[in-house]
Amino acid sequence: MPTEFIMIPVAFDALHLILATLALVLFLGLMRKSPVADVESTEQPPEQQSVPVEAAASPSMLKDTTPDSALQLLSLLQQEARFLDFVHEDLSSYSDADIGAAARVVHEGSTKAVASYFSLSPIRSEEEESRLTLAAGFDASEVRLTGNVVGSAPFTGTLVHRGWKVTDVRLPQLAKGHDVRILAPAEVEL
């Protein structure tokens, strides 16, 4: 099938927002231990559990992860933004205006969900499109070099994206026996 290059997005749009949110969901699911195990070992109030990210992100070897946190976040995004309904909808029969209206609802709900359960901060404080120099020893997990990367630091380039990092996670605790695989129960109106 031939590719139509006019269809390739050239700006950050709703689809990219959805893809970035899904990537964040999956990333956080991989970085965080099972909340069920945390509930059994902590003595915090049952409403919320706060986990500093720095304590969870320092392993030097690969470790096993559970999908519980990622599934919990997908459930929260579905509750607040109807995220899964939007992702699974066949959009081919809708106009761009209809898709944009639906994306606005998903965007507003996703923003609410992310702000409720995560504290985020930019990795770099400089304005995007500004020039900066990375000294030797910069943290390669915080900065990805793109373009013509040759030699060794210091590197001088243009900041394309400031990046994001999570500074606090406040996912609700899960009740014992809660099936995190149920992201949204079926609804039956009587």
pLDDT tens-digit readout, 61-119:
787 878 888 999 999 999 999 999 999 999 999 999 999 999 999 999 999 999 999 99
- In sequence order, what are the beta bridge partners of 157? 132
| Whole-angstrom Cα Rg for the chain | 20
pLDDT tops 90 at residue 45: no
Q: What is the pLDDT of residue 38?
A: 40
The DSSP symbol for 7 reads: G
pLDDT tops 60 at residue 29: no
From CA 154, how far away is CA 152, in angstroms rounded?
6
Q: What is the mean pLDDT of residues 35-58?
A: 46
pLDDT tops 90 at residue 147: yes
Q: What is the pLDDT of residue 115?
A: 95
Is 77 exposed, middle or buried (CB count within 10 Å of its CB: 0-12, 13-18, 19+)? buried
Nearest C-alpha neighbor of 66 from the set 177, 176, 181, 164:
181
Residue linked to tokens 């392993």: 59
| pLDDT band at 15; cut points 50, 70, 90 | low
Q: What is the pLDDT of residue 31?
A: 53
Q: What is the pLDDT of residue 106?
A: 93
pLDDT tens string 155-178: 999 999 999 999 999 999 999 999
In percent, how much of the chain has pLDDT > 70? Answer: 68
Q: How many CB atoms lie within 10 A of CB 99?
A: 16
Nearest C-alpha neighbor of 53 from the set 20, 76, 87, 30:
30
pLDDT tens string 49-63: 455 555 555 556 787
Q: What is the pLDDT of residue 178?
A: 92
Q: What is the pLDDT of residue 54?
A: 52
Q: What is the pLDDT of residue 63?
A: 79
Q: How many CB atoms lie within 10 A of CB 103?
A: 19
**Could you tell me the residue ranges of all domains in the chain?**
10-123+168-184, 125-162
Q: Cβ neighbours of residue 52 under 8 Å, at least 6 residues apart?
A: 167, 168
Q: What is the pLDDT of residue 66?
A: 82
User: The whole model's pTM is what?
Assistant: 0.61
